[in-house]
Amino acid sequence: MPAFDVPAVTRSTLRQQIADALRDEILAGRLSPGQEFTVKEIADGYGVSATPVREALVDLSAQGLLDSVQHRGFRVHEYSLADYRAMIEARSLVADGIFRGLSENAEDASRSPKALAGVRRRGEEAARAAGAGDLNVLIGYDLRFWRELSALFGNAYLSDFFHRLRVQSWMCAVPHLRRAGDLKGSLWSGHCDLVDALARRDAPAAYAIIASYNMDSLALIERLAGEQSA
């Protein structure tokens, strides 16, 4: 039975809190790919009833993080290197869609330097964590950075899909990254460069930064996967 060291959750948004907590457990590597558990184990671990736990697990299954195992419970989904390559391709396509209107509506206040300032602060924290090789902190700030950034530039549906895709990307990459040891200098830290390009409405620079990021991310995970299988 997996052990859970998490703060107590309240009833108000129990389903979402449990889903968020379990997602964090997966991204932190405390729930490993292929690990199985039951609704009862999770409910007992959090000290709550089975109903919100079951609802949370169904939500995570719909997001591609868990698999339902008939008569046995749930299993953490196992992504392959081929999945990661497909995610990178999808990320590029979605980013194109999100930032397509970059050079339009220059007067839109939601995309002004002032509106981007909050996103930039997330980027600064993410970049600081990346430089230190602190994966746990990086993932949290990186997800917030991209969610808030895409919300400014894209429609809500595309932004939500992009967030789920980024969670899946991290979930796929995390096992390789955690086995790699010292990550200082290996993780992408160009968040602020991207914000600055978007603030200037410099579409070519923004696309170049995102393309380089995706290419470097794929190269890193392919290298780590090769080293770990050797």
93 and 45 in a single domain? The answer is: no
In a shared domain, residues 114 and 194: yes
The verdict on residue 124 lying in a domain is: yes
Q: pTM for the whole thing?
A: 0.86
Judgement on whether residues 126 and 221 belong to the same structural domain of the protein: yes
pLDDT of residue 11: 46
Per residue in 80-121, pLDDT tens? 999 999 999 999 999 888 877 665 655 554 566 777 899 999
Residue 14 has pLDDT above 80, yes or no: yes
Confidence band, pLDDT 50/70/90 cuts, at residue 7: low
- Band the pLDDT of 153: cuts 50, 70, 90: confident
Give the domain range for residue 38: 14-76
For residue 177, what pLDDT band results from cuts at 50, 70 and 90? very high
Do 65 and 93 belong to one domain? Answer: no
Shared-domain flag, residues 42 and 93: no
Total structural domains within the chain: 2
3-state helix/strand/coil string of the chain: CCCCCCCCCCCCCHHHHHHHHHHHHHHCCCCCCCCEECHHHHHHHHCCCHHHHHHHHHHHHHCCCEEEECCCEEEECCCCHHHHHHHHHHHHHHHHHHCCCCCCCCCCHHHCHHHHHHHHHHHHHHHHHHHHCCHHHHHHHHHHHHHHHHHHHCCHHHHHHHHHHHHHHHHHHHHHHHHCCCCCCCCCCCHHHHHHHHHCCCHHHHHHHHHHHHHHHHHHHHHHHHHHHC
Res 126 pLDDT > 80: yes
